[in-house]
Amino acid sequence: MRKKYFDRLVKILHDKNIDAMLIAPSEEMEFIMDHNTHLCERFQALIIKKDGTYFYICNLLTVDEVQAVLGPDIKVYGWFDGDVFTDTVKKAFEENDLIGKTIAVNSTERAFIVLQIMETTDVKFVNGKPLLEEMRMIKDENELNDLRMAARITDESYEELLKFIKPGIKEADIARKMNEIFKEKGADEGFTMVCSGPNSSYPHYNS
């Protein structure tokens, strides 16, 4: 758990009088937990309470992985594929005094999951995206340096890419080359979109 951001989120929950935050697998989970699991059809989430305690709910397939990350002192509630997952959620919420409480939800949790929980458990869900954005808004010096480095690598990579482009080359080849240059400079491959001519009018074009 990244303590600085965890503490910041707990303070936000306390200040906004929201009882807990439910975070499904996502970039947000990786940001605060320093670990992310695969988002699939099975419900799982990290639940952080405004008193600073937290627990996790997931299918038994993921219990050992999550327990190893969170440590033996943190409760991980597991449910089997043959179970009704909302029974486990209700039990976890009862044991953690969240019945009748307000719980913020991050942006990757699916609506049908939220609705299923609401059908069986007396809780109120609210949009947690603004709270998580507030948690991440203020950058420390290390993060600012990372942003500067990312911008420098992007500028340098773009200059190199211009030398590679020539008439007749495919958009996919340009995108592939861009990712190669990024990797050579120590950066991870990211979202690369290359579009030319009429394709440049498409806001989410995929070559």
pLDDT bucket at 82, cuts 50 / 70 / 90: confident
Query: Could you count the other beta carbons within 10 Å of the beta carbon of residue 7?
Result: 13
Q: Which range marks the domain in which residue 158 is found?
A: 141-194
Supply the DSSP symbol for 108: T
For residue 62, give the nearest of 75, 44, 48 by alpha carbon. 44
| Residue 9 domain-assigned (yes or no) | yes
Please tell me which residue, 29 or 192, carries the higher pLDDT value: 29
Mean pLDDT of the chain: 93
Does residue 133 carry a pLDDT above 70? yes
Q: What string of DSSP letters covers 38-53?
A: ---SS--EEEEETTS-
Does residue 207 carry a pLDDT above 70? no
* Mean pLDDT, residues 149-153 taken together: 93
CA distance 93 to 196: 52
| Residue 123 domain-assigned (yes or no) | yes
| Residue 38 domain-assigned (yes or no) | yes
Q: What is the pTM of this model?
A: 0.81
pLDDT of amino acid 85: 96
pLDDT tens digits, one per residue of 170-197: 999 999 999 999 999 988 877 788 999 8
| Residue 203 domain-assigned (yes or no) | no
| Residue that is written with structure tokens 């639940």 in the block | 47
* Contact predicate 175/191, CB 8 Å: no
CA distance 114 to 110: 7
How far CA 51 is from CA of 7, 30, 44, 95, 184, in Å, comes to 10, 21, 21, 14, 45
Last residue within a domain, chosen from 72, 106, 137 = 137
Q: Are residues 15 and 41 in the same domain?
A: yes
For the chain, what percent of residues have pLDDT higher than 70?
Answer: 100
pLDDT bucket at 204, cuts 50 / 70 / 90: confident
Please tell me which residue, 204 or 57, carries the higher pLDDT value: 57
